[in-house]
């Protein structure tokens, strides 16, 4: 984990730290890691599965699957409302998971961790609960052109509702944000800067502390879309100097169906509820209600308890591997991946050249084969990649393409799978009778 800051000055962001260099020796024992993931033993179209769609969703280790099935076998009950033993055990398991997330992200308080369904819901929660109360006609929200639709559409909807204006930071030719534009696009009207920690298309790790510092200077709050941040290295929300941080555990070895939102403790009181219903109230009369303190205020209804338990187990698993080691593993794979793909003259690659500037993914296009055809042919080889616009249509337009292919790696992938990918890309050329 990065060191915690006590003052307002941000420390380094471990993901974008320049100290990460391509390691000469492996930082993870991938063969041992793979043995923990039952799905990796299966075949697809008669070939061993090569799973390279981790930026969409990662796989679960036995520890996560077992934790969830144990919960259903042993202490399945509703939380926070039962005097009986099962309900108390379920509550302990649920709140224990919250404590693990708080520690994992170095949150300023356990109550600052709100469980949602995914990153998308976390960002929508901020737009409704904070945005509607604090943004007015003429205010500005600063975004970037690389944002996933999850960190764009909710702000468009809010902007239409309250009449505020969206502004954007562009990227340069290398796929880095144009920080030189910050002076121009941040104004005294900027109330919020909402930016992704890591791009899901370019892989670029964005320098959040630098952006947060500039945002603070104009009095704006900072929301970080951490969907592609948390999985790939140590994240310390206080060191990042953010106000809101959202992520999806299913992209970091956890289960589908649960999301995380961290809100800086002193802002929790400045937010209205998002959804109304059971568990989020202090008192209810026929005419009106008052709210429970956070996080209950933002978690109406029965939560996804087993998913929270699985999330807790995924954090234990990630910590047993080491988040620094995971970061180094990805940088090592990136270096080999970029080297091998650059050998193929028929490919266009997107994103930064330096493997240390990106997380373990690369988006690419064959000049002659559509990304969807490539995805289908690779599937015949047992290789799962993603093809399409990656829910980042404005970025596709900015890059001048309709779609890209994308291979994304994680803790159980190794360099031999890069070779398998390259062989399959060459085989795809043959299918279309194209030169290699």
Would you say 148 or 358 has its CB closer to ligand 7TS?
148
**x/- contact string, 222-241, with ligand 7TS (CB under 6 A)?**
---x-xx-------------
Give the nearest distance from C-beta 309 to ligand 7TS in angstroms.
19
Identified binder of ligand 7TS from the candidate list 58, 59, 120, 304, rule CB under 6 A: 120
Task: Tell me the per-residue interface mask from 59 to 98 with ligand 7TS, x by CB under 6 A, - otherwise.
Answer: ----------------------------------------
Q: Is 119 in the site for ligand 7TS (CB under 6 A)?
A: yes
Q: Which of 124, 196, 238, 328 binds ligand 7TS (CB under 6 A)?
A: 196
Q: Catalytic site residue 75? A: no
**SS3 state at 281:** strand
Binding to ligand 7TS (CB under 6 A) within 198-217 occurs at: 200
Q: How far is the CB of 150 from ligand 7TS (least distance, A)?
A: 4
Supply the minimum distance, in Å, between the C-beta of residue 80 and ligand 7TS. 25
Q: Give, as ranges, the residues between 132 and 161 that touch ligand 7TS (CB under 6 A).
A: 148, 150-151
- Identify residues 385-424 at the interface with ligand 7TS (CB under 6 A): 386, 390-391
Catalytic residue among 60, 75, 359, 391: 391
Please identify, using beta-carbon distances, which residue of 118 and 144 lies nearer to ligand 7TS: 118
CB nearer to ligand 7TS: pick between 131 and 249? 249
Which residues make up the interface to ligand 7TS (CB under 6 A)? 55-56, 118-120, 148, 150-151, 196, 200, 225, 227-228, 248, 386, 390-391
Q: Which residues are catalytic?
A: 391
């Amino acid at each position: 984990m990065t060191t915690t800051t006590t003052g307002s000055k941000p420390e380094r962001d471990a993901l974008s730290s320049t100290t990460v260099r391509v390691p000469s020796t492996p930082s993870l024992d991938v063969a041992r890691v793979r043995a923990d993931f039952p799905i990796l033993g299966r075949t697809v179209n008669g070939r061993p599965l090569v799973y390279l769609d981790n930026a969409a969703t990662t796989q679960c280790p036995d520890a996560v699957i077992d934790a969830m099935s144990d919960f259903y076998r042993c202490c399945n009950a509703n939380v926070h409302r039962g005097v009986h033993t099962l309900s108390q055990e379920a509550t302990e398991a649920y709140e224990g998971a919250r404590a693990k997330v708080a520690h994992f992200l170095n949150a300023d308080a356990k109550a600052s961790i709100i469980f949602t369904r995914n990153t998308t819901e976390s960002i929508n929660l901020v737009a409704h609960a904070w945005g509607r109360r604090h943004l007015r006609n003429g205010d500005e929200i600063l975004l970037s052109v690389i944002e996933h639709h999850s960190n764009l559409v909710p702000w468009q909807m809010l902007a239409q509702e309250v009449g505020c204006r969206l502004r954007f930071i562009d990227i340069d030719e290398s796929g880095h944000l144009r920080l030189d534009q910050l002076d121009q696009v941040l104004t005294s009207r900027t109330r919020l800067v909402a930016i992704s920690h890591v791009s899901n298309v370019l892989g670029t790790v964005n320098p959040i502390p630098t952006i947060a510092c500039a945002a603070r200077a104009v009095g704006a709050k900072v929301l970080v879309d951490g969907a592609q941040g948390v999985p790939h290295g140590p994240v310390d929300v206080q060191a990042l100097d953010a106000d809101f941080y959202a992520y999806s555990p299913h992209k970091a070895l956890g289960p589908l169906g649960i999301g995380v939102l961290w809100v800086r403790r002193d802002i929790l009181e400045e937010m209205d509820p998002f959804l109304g219903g059971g568990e989020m109230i202090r008192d209810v009369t026929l005419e009106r209600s008052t709210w429970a303190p956070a996080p209950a205020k933002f978690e109406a209804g029965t939560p996804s308890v087993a998913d929270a338990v699985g999330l807790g187990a995924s954090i234990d698993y990630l910590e047993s591997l080491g988040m620094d080691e995971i970061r180094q593993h990805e940088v090592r794979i990136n270096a080999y991946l970029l080297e091998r793909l650059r050998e193929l003259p028929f490919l266009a690659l997107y994103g930064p050249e330096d493997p240390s500037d990106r997380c373990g993914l690369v988006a690419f296009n064959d000049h002659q084969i559509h990304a969807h055809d490539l995805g289908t042919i690779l599937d015949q080889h047992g290789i799962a990649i993603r093809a399409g616009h990656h829910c980042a249509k404005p970025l596709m337009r900015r890059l001048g393409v309709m779609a890209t292919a994308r291979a994304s790696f994680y803790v159980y992938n190794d360099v031999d799978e890069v070779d398998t990918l390259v062989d399959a890309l060459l085989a795809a050329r043959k299918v279309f009778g194209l030169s290699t």
